[in-house]
Amino acid sequence: MKIVEVLIEYANYSLDRPFSYFYKGKKKLDVGFRVLLNFNNRELVGYVTKCYETNKDIKDIQEEMGFNIEEIIDVIDESPLLSGDLLELADKVSEYYVAPKISVLQSMLPPSLSPRKSSLKAPKIAYDQYVRIVNDNEDGLTDKQIELLRLISSVDKVLKKEIKSKSILDKLIEYQRVEIIKEEKRRLKVPNYEYKTPPELTYEQKSVVEEFNESKDEVYLLEGVTGSGKTEVYLTLSEQVLKQGKTVLMLVPEIALTPMMMEYYLRRFKGDVAILHSELTPAEKYDEYRKIAKGDCHIVVGARSAIFAPLKNIGLIILDEEHVESYKQDVVPFYHAREVAIMRGKMHKAKVILGSATPSLESRARAQKGVYHLLLLTNRVNNKQLPKTTIVNLADYHNIDRESYIFSIRLREAIKNVLDRHEQAILLINRRGFSTSVSCRKCGHIFKCPTCDIALTYHKSDNMLKCHHCDYVCKMPETCPECGSNYIMKTGFGTERIEEEVNRLFPEARTLRLDSDSAKIRAKIPSIIEDFRQKKADILIGTQMIAKGHDFPDVTLVGIVLADIGLSMPSYRSNERAFQLITQAVGRSGRKDKSGIAIIQTYMPNNYAITMAARQNYELFYRKEMEYRRIQNYPPYSFLASITLAGKVEDNVVKNMVYLIDMLNQEFNDKGLVLGPTIPYVPYEGNNYLRTALVKFKDYKLAKEIFKKVVSIYANKSQVHLTINIDPYNF
């Protein structure tokens, strides 16, 4: 008999401890297996964290433990799901982010292997059946049988489904002339790109590669202006690491960038590459995960969760566009891929590269202090000049085009000139949909999400109102639910409205739109990008998905339709976000042999994030923003944690939060600052009222012990639900 300790699939603080069961069956069972069990009269999946054999009677064991234990129902796996180093990483991530360990394990594993009951219905291994020759002796065979035998012998193997005559095949199997073999199928179809000879590295690129190779440091910040050739540095270093017999983990922040980086790596390294990101089907994820785990590839290209790929002997981890916020998970366990990459790099003694034209202030500050090794690429490849940038003040009526309230005179003329020259343009607005707010003109009622209590956005393509936070949708109403009026007013604009305006003003222009709406059909992302690269469209309209990493040789105009979006958000990062987005977007223009321009439309032309982004002056922005951060004691001058309580009864949530803040103030004393309680930007979620406290602190070890106390107090409170977000990006 075996005694096992398991983590239950529910990611709650109250259940974040092992539960004991016994097993008398004959299946193999050890640490890292999933088991099916009965927990509180529910059939759930558990993950085994401890397992040992005993000769004692179950009654004696229960007497020693002081409680009854049940037998597990079944063992799900035939081998452990995670290697020892990944289990160690799970412990580190759970510890740092004060997160239930099961939530980390669920983030690490694909749906088919996740410690959840839903995984039992997820796709499993798929096989192709092939027919191959065992004995090519033709004696005693009919002419038809000989024909088929010779056909099979002319190739190495034949797919069974391609053989039309089942009866003849059955006879050849019976006569032991052929046999059926099974081979695991890879359901993700990747293009067969031709190998492309690497370009000669520039002097700067060679210097960066040499400096990297000569240094013994662990973490490197590769800061390079847009178009400076960071990707070629990644590829060159990856090639070196592979020659050393080690593996490479290449992360990109957006799914939209994965196809492009995938192409670069597939061209250079052919079938030695696996792909992992959230838009793969569960079957594709399962196949790619198994391919990596079996050691059938040495490079993984993927988005945030790929940091947990089961690669062995890692020599290099790369985070491209390291500043992008999508590297931070916005649900429990709230991990940031950058911090996990550094943890994993130390475990494997691998080097970690963080690349960006606009590094996060935290990363740049660490580089300034020497915590990270700073590598610089200051020039574009071929010494191409950065785009000439113009800021257009939308508050000045002289700039307004009478025929369009969206485009200024300057931007409209620039679009026309690009079309006349048969070149391409990118138009960016970081807001999808047609109208950003819908209200009643008579009574002032604003249509809000019933789940989140934030304004719904109108989408003209399907005539629906949508919540961009929780994905709630409803039909566009014809009358106001408050007063019955049919005076429904749409205000603001997003990508859909921009596309309609372009089509109205420039009917001859061919347009494409890339945002999270158009990308819902996952095959559309690479096809839209490739169609634009192949000049099947003149203008690409989109959100931040189009602003980072792409290389379109014929783009000579970037228009930022409204640069102010996000600047008014209640976040200390709003200026940094705006600067990074504008800088990255402007960098898409004039990347090859043609000069580029960029036009930034704004109602805030003197905002330093906008003026410095227009000049592509990261150094000046960094110094100014760091001064504000220092005065306000925000990262990198302090750590942050947001603590949220959620509950069905608002008064109860408020009372508990007031008590919690008092406790935090006593515990931190003068070693931390507790702000709150505040109503978060999304005040109501999943039928729960939310209240948040923000904690600024410098001593992480002290804070972690205090947060553990908070967890112990609130873990078993049924009326409120606690979440702790270490290093939050939004609060």
Nearest-angstrom CA–CA distance, 5 and 467: 42
Q: How confident is the model at residue 287 (pLDDT cuts 50, 70, 90)?
A: very high
Confidence check: pLDDT of 355 > 80: yes
pLDDT tens, position by position, 141-185: 999 999 999 999 888 889 999 898 999 999 999 999 999 999 888
For residues 466 and 456, give the distance between their C-alpha atoms in angstroms, rounded to a whole number. Answer: 5
C-alpha to C-alpha distance for 725 and 731, rounded to whole angstroms: 9
Architecture (CATH level 2) of domain 639-726: 2-Layer Sandwich (3.30)
Cβ atoms of residues 311 and 249 within 8 Å: yes
| pLDDT tens digit sequence for 626-648 | 999 999 999 999 999 999 999 99
Per-residue DSSP letter, 198: P
Position of tokens 């390291």?
A: 322
Helix/strand/coil for 444: coil
Tell me the mean pLDDT in the region 37-58.
Answer: 93
Which DSSP category does 467 fall into?
-
Query: Per DSSP, what are the bridge partners of residue 249?
Result: 300, 317
- State the pairing for strand pair 437-440/488-491: antiparallel
Q: Give me the long-range contacts of 175-178 (CB less than 8 A, separation at least 24).
A: 175/140, 175/141, 175/145, 176/134, 176/135, 177/133, 177/134, 177/135, 177/136, 177/137, 177/141, 177/145, 177/149, 178/131, 178/132, 178/133, 178/134, 178/149, 178/152
Query: Which are the contacts of 486, defined by CB distance < 8 A and separation ≥ 6?
Result: 478, 479, 480
Which pair of structure tokens corresponds to residue 406?
């969206």
Cα separation, 582 vs 358, in Å, equals 10
**Alpha helices (runs of H) in 244-315, residue ranges in sequence order:** 258-269, 282-293
The answer to whether 217 and 209 are in contact (CB under 8 A) is no
Per DSSP, 435 falls in state B
Residue 99 near residue 333 (C-beta atoms within 8 A): yes
Predicted confidence (pLDDT) per residue in 368-389, tens digit: 999 999 999 999 887 778 899 9
The token pair that represents 2 in the structure block: 């075996």
Query: Residues of the chain with pLDDT > 90: what percent?
Result: 75
> b or e along 254-289 (b: 16 or more beta carbons within 10 Å of the residue's beta carbon)?
bbbbbbbbbbbbbbbbeeebbbbbebbebbbbbbbb
Task: pLDDT band for 521, please (50, 70, 90 cuts).
Answer: low
Residue with tokens 């309580």: 645
CA angle 549, 537, 418 (to 5 degrees): 85
Q: How far apart are CA 695 and CA 725, in angstroms?
A: 10
- CA 694, CA 28: separation in Å to the nearest integer? 47
Report the C-alpha gap between 341 and 90 in whole angstroms. 12
Label residue 272 by pLDDT band (50, 70, 90). very high
- pLDDT of 523 reads 63
According to DSSP, the residues that pair with 182 across neighbouring strands are 129
Which of 304-313, 420-429, 431-440, 479-488 is the least confident region? 431-440
Helix, strand counts (H, E) of the chain? 19, 33
Strands (E), 54-169: 74-75, 127-133, 158-159
- Give the separation between CA 459 and CA 471, rounded to whole angstroms: 12
CA atoms within 13 A on the CB side of 722: 25
The pLDDT > 70 percentage for the chain reads 99
**What CATH number should be reported for the domain whose range is 203-382?**
3.40.50.300
- Determine the average pLDDT of the residues in 693-722: 94
Task: Kindly report the number of other CB atoms within 10 A of residue 566's CB atom.
Answer: 18
Do the Cβ atoms of 142 and 174 come closer than 8 Å? no
pLDDT of residue 498: 94
pLDDT digits (tens, 9 = 90+) for 102-139: 999 999 999 999 999 999 999 888 889 999 999 999 99
CB 6 within 8 A of CB 49: yes
As a three-state string, the secondary structure of 614-678 is: HCCCHHHHHHHHHHHHHHHCCCCCCEEEEEEEEECCHHHHHHHHHHHHHHHHHHHCCCEEEEEEE
Nearest-10 Cα torsion for 167, 169, 175, 179: -140
Q: Note the pLDDT of residue 527.
A: 86
**Which segment, 26-40, 178-192, 477-491, is predicted with the most confidence on average?**
26-40
CATH, domain 2-83+102-121, list 1.10.3470, 3.40.1440, 3.30.70, 3.40.1420: 3.40.1440
Question: What's the pLDDT tens digit per position in 398-407?
Answer: 999 988 989 9
Nearest of 146, 142, 220, 204 to residue 178 by alpha carbon: 146
Measured distance between the N- and C-terminal CA atoms of the chain, rounded to whole angstroms: 50
Scanning 407-523, the segments in alpha helix (DSSP H) are: 409-420, 495-505
Residues 304-331 pLDDT 10s: 999 999 999 999 999 999 999 999 999 9
CA distances from 458 to 16, 337, 399, 436 (A): 41, 33, 28, 6
Do domains 203-382 and 639-726 share one topology? The answer is no
Average pLDDT, whole number, for the chain? 92
Pairing of strands 404-408, 639-647: unpaired
Q: What angle do CA 296, 299, 304 make, to 5 degrees?
A: 120
CA distance linking residue 319 with residue 327, whole number of Å: 9
Tell me if residue 450 falls in helix, strand or coil. coil
* Residues 112 and 285: beta-carbon distance below 8 Å: yes
**Per-residue pLDDT, 698:** 95
Residue type at 14 in one-letter notation: S
Residues 238-259: tens digit of each pLDDT = 999 999 999 999 999 987 777 8
Boundaries of every domain in the chain: 2-83+102-121, 128-184, 203-382, 384-434+493-626, 639-726
Region of 487 please: left (phi>0), alpha (psi -120 to 50) or beta. beta
Is the pLDDT reported for residue 453 higher than 70?
yes
What topology does CATH give the domain 384-434+493-626?
Answer: Rossmann fold (3.40.50)
Q: In this predicted structure, what is the pLDDT of residue 426?
A: 96
Strand order across the beta sheet in which 42-53 lies = 19-23, 2-8, 42-53, 34-39, 74-75
Does the structure show a pLDDT above 80 at 549? no
Q: Are 340 and 97 in contact (CB under 8 A)?
A: no
